[in-house]
Chain A
């Protein structure tokens, strides 16, 4: 998380700080309950080169929607225990409204288009969780993410 904050601050050693007025952070963690099941752990799988491309698409969208915001985000893969962080988003901007919105937008878009899959291991079995059909060019889903970001 400190690394992500350093990335959005854009501050270089020996240079005066950029002085963003707001930094918003989001950490998604492994929840112990899902749809009535007692979750034991999650296993995340990603198609990494495409995930990085999807992250680039999301970063470009943020630049277009909130030109004053800077974002950095990271998704973990592999086996994660209850309470562990699976995804982290940091957004910086001169004022809090854009930082909150950009941060929310990134996590909504990650859930919509990033090629990442979670397998839930619960008491009594395991199941692949399936959410959105990933379509990075679908404007309706990016508008839906924007609407949620600005609620």
Chain B
């Protein structure tokens, strides 16, 4: 399946991109997408414990399944206000 990955805050600085399109094989979850990304950009790997995620602009968990065409966003700890 083909998914779009969106990165915010320091994550897009570390990866050097705000939006990426990647192919995932088989039954993928948000965690699959994170693993693929962290292998490609090892600098983001330390965020594994603090990152949160959204699928198609709704809050999601690492276990949320993905479908072809989904938009997955990875969010570093937030700092609004």
A interface residues with partner B (beta carbon < 8 Å): 28, 44-47, 49-50, 53-54, 75, 86-87, 107, 110-119, 128-137
Contacts and interface: CB of A to CB of B under 8 A. Distances in A.
Given A47-B54, A50-B58, A87 B80 contact: yes
Given A47-B54, A53-B59, A134 B13 contact: no
A109 to B, nearest CB: 10
Q: Is the interface of A mostly helix, strand, loop or mixed?
A: mixed
A117 B81 contact: no
A53 B73 CA distance: 14
B73 to A, nearest CB: 6
A114 B80 contact: yes
A47 B8 contact: yes
Nearest to A28: B81
Interface residues of B, number: 20
B77 A132 contact: yes
Contacts of B78: 111-117, 130-134
A82 B79 CA distance: 17
Given A115-B78, A134-B78, A45 B9 contact: yes
A49 B80 contact: no
A88 to B, nearest CB: 11
